[in-house]
């Protein structure tokens, strides 16, 4: 199975004395699916059949395109700073970014972080982007660390206490 933050896997011991085998629980959204470890031990023949079926399917069909996404909130995030922002200014950006992350649009979010111009942005907006994406830094958002450095450098150049502002992120 592919490692994906939208689906969580956990190995658990469940049941009582009459039922005490290990289960693999797959949680996707609000649904849980239970499997025994034997379900994850296919034979070589089963793997060959799966591989052959995937080859046949990939030859017959084009990959499905992702549905279009709404990034109108990004325009709000990119607006030059005119003073301190209020929560009402930041909430649509956090909501838009969160919806992309929930739908696993990691490449798109990574691209948006690369496109963000920290020179003109409000400090509150930069920090909101960092804190919203913090849990997926690294593996799913490889540009996150560079974005953090850019924000830290920009805050320092504005004579702001970047260590205090970015506490918990650095």
Residue 170 is assigned to a structural domain of this protein: no
User: pLDDT-derived band of residue 16, with 50, 70 and 90 as boundaries?
Assistant: very low
How many angstroms separate the CA atoms of 143 and 107, rounded? Answer: 10
Report the distance separating Cα 143 and Cα 162, nearest Å: 19
50 and 77 share one domain: no
Does one domain contain both 145 and 97?
yes
> 84 and 125 share a domain?
yes
Output the six-digit token pair for 96: 């838009």
**133 and 97 share one domain:** yes
pLDDT at 34 over 70: no
Tell if the pTM clears 0.75, that is, is over it.
Answer: no
67 found inside a domain: no
Domain that residue 23 falls in: 7-60
Asked if 42 and 94 sit in the same domain, the reply is: no
Per-residue pLDDT tens over the stretch 112-170: 999 999 998 999 999 999 999 999 998 899 999 999 999 999 999 999 999 999 999 88
CA separation for the pair 160, 153 (Å, rounded): 10
């Amino acid at each position: 199975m592919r490692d994906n933050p939208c689906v969580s896997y956990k190995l658990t011991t469940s049941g009582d004395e009459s039922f005490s085998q290990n289960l693999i629980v797959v949680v996707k959204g609000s649904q849980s699916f239970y499997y025994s470890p034997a379900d994850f031990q296919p034979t070589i023949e089963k793997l060959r059949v799966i591989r052959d079926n995937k080859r046949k399917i990939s030859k017959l069909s084009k990959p499905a395109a992702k549905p279009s996404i709404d990034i109108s909130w990004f325009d709000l995030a990119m607006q030059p700073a005119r003073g301190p922002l209020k929560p009402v200014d930041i909430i649509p950006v956090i909501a838009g970014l969160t919806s992309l992350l929930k739908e696993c649009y990691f490449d798109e979010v990574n691209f948006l972080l690369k496109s963000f111009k920290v020179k003109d942005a409000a400090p509150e907006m930069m920090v909101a982007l960092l804190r919203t994406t913090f849990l997926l830094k690294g593996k799913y958002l490889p540009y996150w660390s560079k974005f953090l450095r850019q924000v830290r450098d920009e805050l320092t150049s504005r004579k702001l206490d970047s260590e205090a502002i970015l506490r918990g992120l650095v």
